[in-house]
Amino acid sequence: MDSTPETPPRADAGHALPLSGIRVLDLTHQVAGPSATMALAMMGADVVKVVPPGVTDSYDSMAFYLNNASKRSIALDLKSEDGYRTACELVARADVMVENFAPGVIERLRLDYDVVRGINESIVYAQIKGFAEGTDYAAYACFDPIAQAYSGATSITGEPDAPLPTKPGPDVGDTGTGMVALSGILAALFHRQRTGVGQRVSLSMTDQIATSLRIHFAWPIVYGRPTPRFGNDAPFVERTAPSGLFPCRPFGPDDHVHIHCGNDKHWRSLLGAIGREDLLDDEELATVPKRGVARDRVAEVVTAWTSTVTKQEAMETLGAAGVPAGALRTTMEVMHDPDLRARGIFVPVEHPVHGEVLIPGWPVVMSESAVRVTAPSAPGSDTAEVLREWLAR
């Protein structure tokens, strides 16, 4: 079998962008909304980000760069009559509109769904909010940490004996919701292709996180109590071992490997890989439940071996033996991984302050379609071009 890593097709090599021709009016800010529209832009949609006139400081912001790649930008004062009329003209020519303003803002701007649908019946109108519409907290402000706390993600994160739980590191409320919104937008576009009918797509960060915790609801279902915190262990109803981080040379704070033996075959393969075949017939360690009880002993066996190798050596040795294992890598190590760069998972773009920087690309590889990852346009810099192309001005 060919093990050559897949490289995303290049648009300049004859591969079409899958969303080429789709026009997206982007009224998003922060992370959740921009992450959804950025994905659309990377897949070829003409995403036009609307910013208030005179806004330039965000262009130097790394957060702006990391959430607005591959988009164009126009300056438009949505609060003025001229700006509002132009926005309505753009709505009439858009396939998709996305907004994630604070509750009530889009209504004050007179661009809520009823108004937009009246202008363009076939538009896919997507909204991302913190708390779900129609609930007691729909008008409350919300950011990623708030959504993670309210939806249960924070409660199951951290060490079991720590005084407080810990907010999960990845922005599963922001980018996670953006990616789920993306799936809804694409589904709505497919529905429109079949029926000609547009629709409203709405979701909240809190609802999205709650549903993403899917397997963790086994604890209240099976035991009738909240899911506990497991630290680096697997949060399963049935405990297993080894499952967690183990120290490696040269014993720095990030020199660890995560090992998870989810079944008896993994355990036997691990013993062979680390030279502890003498434990193959140890009845105390023979099954998953028994190893869960003897966790401390298992940890001693595994640590004795991982302490003799680096995290990369541990990962490669165990991985080659069929044991699930992964080196604990920092963001710096991940960003500068030459394989990730070669495959377009990280892409170099020019930043006005930092020069060439690496930003995350699009991780999905399609055999017949390309993606594009370019630096975001400076706020408002494409105004004339977009108005000419969309509105023939």
Question: Could you give the 3-state DSSP secondary structure of residue 162?
Answer: coil
Cis omega (within 30 of 0) for bond into 235 = no
390: how many CB neighbours lie within 10 A of its CB? 19
Q: Give the tokens for residue 265.
A: 């075959």
Q: CA–CA separation, 86 vs 47, rounded Å?
A: 16
Closest C-alpha to 66, from 74, 77, 58: 58
78 close to 17: Cβ distance less than 8 angstroms: no
| CA 122 to each of CA 114, 189, 378: distance values in angstroms, whole numbers, following the listed order | 12, 9, 30
Q: CA–CA separation, 39 vs 189, rounded Å?
A: 15
378 close to 59: Cβ distance less than 8 angstroms: yes
Q: CA–CA separation, 96 vs 90, rounded Å?
A: 10
Helical packing angle, 311-320 and 264-273, nearest 10°: 120
Question: Could you give the 3-state DSSP secondary structure of residue 27?
Answer: strand
107: how many CB neighbours lie within 10 A of its CB? 13
Q: CA–CA separation, 350 vs 132, rounded Å?
A: 38
* Residues carrying an active site annotation: 174
Q: Which residues contact 51 (CB under 8 A, 6 or more apart)?
A: 58, 73, 74, 75, 76, 379, 380
23 close to 95: Cβ distance less than 8 angstroms: yes
Q: CA–CA separation, 184 vs 181, rounded Å?
A: 5
